Amino acid sequence: MRCPAFLSPANNCASRRAFVLRLLLCAAAGALNVLAFEPFGLYPLPLLTLGVLVACLRGETRARRAFALGFAWGWTDFVVGVGWLGIALHRFGGMWLPFTALAVSLLCAWLALFPALASAVFVRLQGNQLSGARAALLFGSCWALGEWLRGTLFTGFPWLAIGYSQATGHGALDGWFALIGAYGVGALVAALAAACVHLRARFAALAIAAVCAAGLAAGKVEWTQPDGAPLEVSLLQPNVEQSLKWDPDLFFEWLDRFIELAYQHPARLIVLPESALPVFEDQLTDSIRNRLRMSALGQTLLVGVFLRNEQQHAFNSAITYGEGEGQRYGKHHLVPFGEYSPPLFGWFYQLIHIPMSDQTPAPARQAPIRVDTHRIALNICYENLFGHEIARNALDAGILLNLSNLSWYGSDSLAQAQHLQIGRARALETARPYLSGSNDGMTAALDPHGRTLAALAPATMGALTLPVQATTGETPYLRLRDWPALATALVLLILCPGTARLRRLFRRGNAA
């Protein structure tokens, strides 16, 4: 490629070619990053994928170019990692395929703004003057604050936060979750990736070894203790086809399936997943309610169903039948564009046809569900992405229970495994057993160390019945949540470039 005359000097052309190459390299690294998460589980991979981004930023002095590099990394990361969102829009929402591709691309572009912003701030603050540990700590801080913003602004979308890739139930960083949570773990991973670029190999290896050793030591600490006798739980996976679920002519066929499963798999607590009954609870007849009570066999049946108040506001909820009847939980953190329309986006619902898409958030603080002496903190589907909210409700409970219906995204997509891995992070943060009850997967039980106790195969009908040991006690994260990690990142954001400037001033003073 010849460099146009008006772009003299001649090396401008080579510089542009090099920048395009760096863009492509960042895009490739971002696309590869999905392999760090379940179901692939290559959790050391972010040291390489983020390391590529840091290497491309090294020596860059222009924040605009750094922004573009971070955007290229982030856009491909999200397109590959959460492209399954298009299944709900196209297959079940009826959106025309080109519009679906455009909508998913635009959403991924929005999400990519945050790694782009983190990259631009990193370059702007380091001024090409930082190196070594300070550069690594600064990048980790920028990355953590960027991910926190992504998980907070406009209700947040923290899916694929780097920290979640380290929630394995057997990894060296598992122990860090109880101390600093997913954002803090993400900051550690980003800082170590930058250390691989900015430190000599032996020092980077020492930093990785030290962080892993501390994580392993923290993982051996028993933050909580068993609380009472185990609770026998049966998680029913009815495997109702999503395209048929909302057909009113098939309602009683699904009801019969639920009741048969409950009869076949009795337990002290029987759980049906999110929106198992795709109607408002006040539309159920007394006969249907009696059948649900009888299916519990004198125990407690928890069912996902929709509730509405006198103002006809809809709530994605769960309610108990049988013993302890009438306890309820309502979803507080709704999915934008799926369960409610953000301001100025009402036109979006003219392009799709998703049932129950106009919902109202329930209160943030809700009492746990009680079964005997056990207290169970519920959350519904998307809510398990928000660790600080889960921790707030887990303080009063000994078991975490997530009800979900990931059938919207297909039983063969990455969504199911990614969602369960996020639940693994919640178990590690709170040192509570975590139960996942889903329509077609992943129905699973995790212990307080994030290890899988049992799981059902996706896209199958069945039940997972097992004793669950509740725990009591507090992890540091359960009490302090994300504040220590975020405050540390903010302080480092100020100190790392600040100390470099002071050193330069000191050297100039000595030279004078």
Q: Tell me: the pLDDT tens digits for 452-486?
A: 999 999 999 999 999 999 999 999 999 999 999 99
CB-neighbour burial class of residue 442 (10 A; exposed 0-12, middle 13-18, buried 19+): buried
pTM score of the predicted model: 0.93
**How far is the first Cα of the chain from the last one, in angstroms, to the nearest whole number?**
48
- pLDDT score for 184: 98
- pLDDT score for 1: 39
175-218 tens-digit pLDDT: 999 999 999 999 999 999 999 999 999 999 999 999 999 999 99
| Helix axes 387-394 and 415-430, enclosed angle (nearest 10) | 50
Tokens 């039983």, residue located: 411
- pLDDT score for 92: 81
Cis ω for the linkage preceding 95 (within 30 of 0): no
Contact 276, 301 (CB under 8 A): no
Catalytic positions, written as ranges: 274, 331, 381
- pLDDT score for 350: 60
- pLDDT score for 351: 61
6-54 tens-digit pLDDT: 333 445 666 889 999 999 999 999 999 999 999 999 999 999 999 999 9
508 vs 179 pLDDT, higher one? 179
Reported as half-sphere exposure (CB side, CA atoms, 13 A), residue 395 has a value of 14
Quote the CA–CA distance of 435 and 132 in Å, as a whole number. Answer: 43
- The amino acid present at 8, given as its one-letter code, is S
Instruction: Map residue 371 onto helix, strand or coil.
Output: strand
- pLDDT score for 53: 98
Instruction: Map residue 239 onto helix, strand or coil.
Output: coil
Q: Indicate the DSSP class of residue 336.
A: B
pLDDT bin (cut points 50, 70, 90) of residue 2 is very low
pLDDT above 50 for 4: no
pLDDT above 50 for 495: yes
55-108 tens-digit pLDDT: 999 989 899 999 999 999 999 999 999 999 999 888 888 888 999 999 999 999
pLDDT bin (cut points 50, 70, 90) of residue 5 is very low
360-414 tens-digit pLDDT: 999 999 999 999 999 999 999 999 999 999 999 999 999 999 999 999 888 888 9
pLDDT bin (cut points 50, 70, 90) of residue 3 is very low
Alpha helices in 220-274 (DSSP H): 242-245, 251-264
- pLDDT score for 339: 76
pLDDT above 60 for 154: yes
Task: Mention the CATH class of domain 225-480.
Answer: alpha beta
Instruction: Map residue 113 onto helix, strand or coil.
Output: helix
CB-neighbour burial class of residue 48 (10 A; exposed 0-12, middle 13-18, buried 19+): middle
Contact 467, 230 (CB under 8 A): yes
Contact 500, 453 (CB under 8 A): no
pLDDT bin (cut points 50, 70, 90) of residue 420 is very high
pLDDT bin (cut points 50, 70, 90) of residue 345 is low
93-151 tens-digit pLDDT: 888 899 999 999 999 999 999 999 999 999 999 866 777 899 999 999 999 999 999 99
Residues of the chain with CATH 3.60.110.10: 225-480
280-334 tens-digit pLDDT: 999 999 999 999 999 998 899 999 999 999 888 999 999 999 999 999 999 999 8
Q: How confident is the model over 498-512, as a mean pLDDT? A: 54
- pLDDT score for 93: 81
Which range is least confidently modeled, 246-250, 481-485, 505-509? 505-509
- pLDDT score for 297: 86
Cis ω for the linkage preceding 476 (within 30 of 0): no
- pLDDT score for 441: 86
